[in-house]
Amino acid sequence: MIDITIDDKKISAKKDQTILQLAQENGIKIPHLCFHAALKPSGSCKLCGVEVASPSGKQVVMLSCIIKAKKNLIVKTNSALVKAKREEAFNKLLQMAPESSTIRNLAKQFDVSVTSPPNGCIRCRLCIRVCNEVIKAKALKMVKTENGNMVVPQAGRCIGCGTCANLCPTNIIKMVDEGSVRTVSIKEEVIEQLPLERCEGCGKMFATSDFQEFVKESIATHPDTKELHMLCPSCKKSMSNIVKTERERMKK
């Protein structure tokens, strides 16, 4: 038997036993992902680092799934050096698999602070700016969440115009029309669900009543915008052409 110490605990190891195996047998937790008892260790994930003294006497972090027990080896599984390397390793893995709940849960278990998962928003604020400055509905705002800054709805303010969804460069704001209802959502959160109005020309559902009201009340410079607001874009186009021809005819 070989006597070693892990976290101040004296442990007797068999020949060729790794530190990770010994730790597991003795209820000492070390994070690991690429180790499997039926396979040769590969040292890929780098999560299982522990602090030991190198042959020169310097304290170093080595992979516990690979290093074997040696007489009088002193192992630390939770030193500052180990924690720093562990955090680095977790974050490297998350760069490759940012949404992995296995990695994130393991990091949490070992109290390792890791980068927030991407939420698909690049914080360009186009959605908020257009809603505030052009539509003036002020239906969106940016808030701090545990996953970083995120755009969230301001209850009851959305008029369902869809301008934010059209401008969002990453497409995380979606506008879906189903039957007579328009749903605007960001990620999985519904911003608003609003009833749709029919086009007075072709009868197709095309805009929310709140948006129609907005257009009616708006001080648009083009006179047709007010006149034709109850028409869908294609009927509006045909009607504009008719109105234009008629105006030209009247001028003659």
Single out the residue of 45, 93, 140, 165 in contact with ligand FES (rule: CB under 6 A).
45
Contact (CB, 8 A) for 205 and 215: no
173 lies in the site for ligand SF4, by CB under 6 A: yes
Longest dimension (CA), the chain: 110
141 lies in the site for ligand SF4, by CB under 6 A: no
44 lies in the site for ligand FES, by CB under 6 A: yes
Q: Is 182 helix (H, G, I), strand (E, B) or coil?
A: strand
Going from the C-alpha of 193 to that of each of 170, 176, 182, the distances in angstroms are 21, 10, 6
| Phi–psi pair at 176, nearest 5 degrees | -125, 130
Single out the residue of 4, 28, 33, 151 in contact with ligand FES (rule: CB under 6 A).
33
Amino acid letter for position 79: S
As measured in angstroms, the least distance from the Cβ of 163 to ligand SF4 is 10
As measured in angstroms, the least distance from the Cβ of 177 to ligand FES is 49
126 lies in the site for ligand SF4, by CB under 6 A: yes
Which residue, among 140, 177, 139, has the nearest Cα to 158 in the 3D structure? 139
How many residues belong to the site for ligand FES (CB under 6 A)?
12
Residue 35 binding target from ligand FES, ligand SF4, none, CB below 5 to 8 Å by type: ligand FES
Region from 37-45, 80-88, 119-127, 174-182 binding ligand FES, contact rule CB under 6 A: 37-45
In this structure, is the dihedral angle defined by the CA atoms of residues 241, 242, 245 and 247, taken in order, positive or negative? negative
Single out the residue of 52, 73, 94, 151 in contact with ligand SF4 (rule: CB under 6 A).
151
β-partners of residue 34 are none
Burial class of residue 146, CB neighbours in 10 A (0-12, 13-18, 19+): exposed
The DSSP secondary-structure symbol of 228 reads T
187 lies in the site for ligand SF4, by CB under 6 A: no
As measured in angstroms, the least distance from the Cβ of 143 to ligand SF4 is 12
List contacts with ligand FES (CB under 6 A): 32-35, 43-48, 63, 65
Residues of this chain that interact with ligand SF4 (CB under 6 A) are 121-127, 151, 167-170, 172-173
